[in-house]
Amino acid sequence: SDYNEPFRPQYHFSPPANWMNDPNGMVFHKGEYHLFYQYYPDSNVWGPMHWGHATSKNLIEWKNLPVAIAPDSLGWIFSGSAVLDSENSSGLGTAENPPLVAIYTYHNNVKGDAGRIDFQTQGIAYSLDDGVSWEKFSGNPVLANPGIRDFRDPKVTKVEVDGKAMWVMSLAVKDKISFYSSSNLLEWEHESDFNPAWAAYGGVWECPDLFPLQSPNGEQKWVLLVSINPGGPNGGSATQYFVGDFDGETFTTNQEEVKWLDHGTDNYAGVTWSNVPDADGRTIFIGWMSNWDYAQVVPTEVWRSAMTLPRELSLYDEGEELWVASNPVKEVEQLRDEALTIEGEEVALENELLEFSLKPKAGDFSGTFENEFGEILVIGKREDALFIDRTNSGLTNFKEGFASVMTAPLNGLEINEVRIMLDRSSVEVFINDGALAMTALVFPEHPYSKLLLNGFEKENKAYSLKKIW
């Protein structure tokens, strides 16, 4: 592919061809960020899942690599994670050449066996050549199915308890997250379950991730991400999170209301990179920029789906509670090409890849992207809510309900900055360094050629952006 088809993302990751969903197995290793992903190499809709593979040195430019893990007699390869087993605890490598270990779900329902529900198990593959080629573990599966239909998406984290390192697996089990522990990645013991009564249960729980984050006052907290489909705040798929504590066995939280990592319709199944060096200290996230409501019918043919921009996650205080901010990683600034000066309320757009940093006045505001073909995308604030209106943003009729206005409650949050990242078929909006994020797909048939600003200060910043492909 030349990465220049209609709607092809120009600075987001998308596979060269065919179907992609969740990001998988993200691990930093020897200077490279590995990104694996749910991939069906034979079609542009979902099917027998493989792990596709790409790497990046800077989280911006990506190099596509051959399929890393393919289905075998135990099933298709569903979502999961990867870690560097630096002490060779698994014995799958050597002390001199420790293995990268991938833990994924085998989905073995190929024949649709009537009545059977025990078809999801967890398996292991390992790489001794820095992630290029992967060997399956001969003792698979490492975690058998206990008789539960939804039993998947293992995310493994290295946890230090009383100075001792151990592996903890978070697993999505229908409507709860189960935690398992292991000393060698091969034998797993059930520790606890997490499913508070007030959480969002509109759909099945998927793709958990458990990781530590420092609170603004320096306390170590733990964050648990849980994707849910359907049941998102604006319909279909979305990711809720919990801020709390983890003692190596049990996750607890004082939280009492649902919190969403991204309020838009198009950020799902996202998780964080493992093995990011302590010296870096960042928690880096990427999500699948789509929604199961319409992912398989969006108007692209050569490929389907892209990832969000990589985002750094951090904790902030607001109203005596801790919240997770998600902001584009600083490397994203390398995409900036020309700085554009925008003065006044009407801005001619000469580039379709754009970043804006807008300063609203007090009160409501709106930024309206439009072109001479009547395609209109509006981002704004109204009645203490942020909204993206994509009703007439371009092609929408491929799926009922796509032509929507999505909203996010602000709960009195004062907005200092509205940062907008516009690519050929997506818009990502970040309020106050990611205190609130909203991601939406849009399919304008022609680039937006004008931006109308209402309710902003006179001088605002903007950049045209470089393409990465």
298-318 burial code (b ≥16 CB/10 A, e <16): bbbebbbbbbbbbbbbbbeee
Binding test (CB under 6 A) with ligand FRU, winner from 207, 223, 307, 435: 207
Closer of 38 and 327 to ligand FRU (Cβ): 38
Q: Which two tokens stand for residue 349?
A: 């757009």
Give the nearest distance from C-beta 16 to ligand FRU in angstroms: 19
44 binding ligand FRU? (CB under 6 A): no
N- to C-terminal Cα separation, the chain: 10
206 binding ligand FRU? (CB under 6 A): yes
Spell out, one character per residue from 143 to 182, where the chain touches ligand FRU: x when CB under 6 A holds, - when not: ---------xx-----------------------------
Question: Which of these is catalytic: 2, 22, 118, 384?
Answer: 22
Give the nearest distance from C-beta 310 to ligand FRU in angstroms: 19
| Distance (Å, whole) CA 200 – CA 226 | 9
Please choose, from the candidates 286, 326, 325, the residue with its C-alpha nearest in 3D space to the C-alpha of residue 59. 286
| Distance (Å, whole) CA 205 – CA 254 | 20
Give me the amino acid identity at 445: E
Please choose, from the candidates 272, 249, 244, 309, the residue with its C-alpha nearest in 3D space to the C-alpha of residue 83. 272
Binding test (CB under 6 A) with ligand FRU, winner from 10, 81, 89, 105: 105
Give the nearest distance from C-beta 9 to ligand FRU in angstroms: 19
Binding test (CB under 6 A) with ligand FRU, winner from 14, 18, 21, 267: 21
Alpha-carbon distances, residue 182 vs 109, 175, 301 (angstroms): 27, 23, 43
Binding test (CB under 6 A) with ligand FRU, winner from 20, 26, 27, 49: 49
Closer of 226 and 422 to ligand FRU (Cβ): 226
Binding test (CB under 6 A) with ligand FRU, winner from 10, 14, 44, 79: 79
Closer of 82 and 415 to ligand FRU (Cβ): 82
Cβ contact 313:326 at 8 Å? yes
Task: Say whether 22 is catalytic.
Answer: yes
Give the nearest distance from C-beta 150 to ligand FRU in angstroms: 8
Residue 335, classed as helix, strand or coil, is: helix
38 binding ligand FRU? (CB under 6 A): yes
Cβ contact 293:386 at 8 Å? no
Interacting residues with ligand FRU (CB under 6 A): 21-22, 38, 49, 78-79, 105, 152-153, 206-207, 269
User: Which of the residues are catalytic?
Assistant: 22
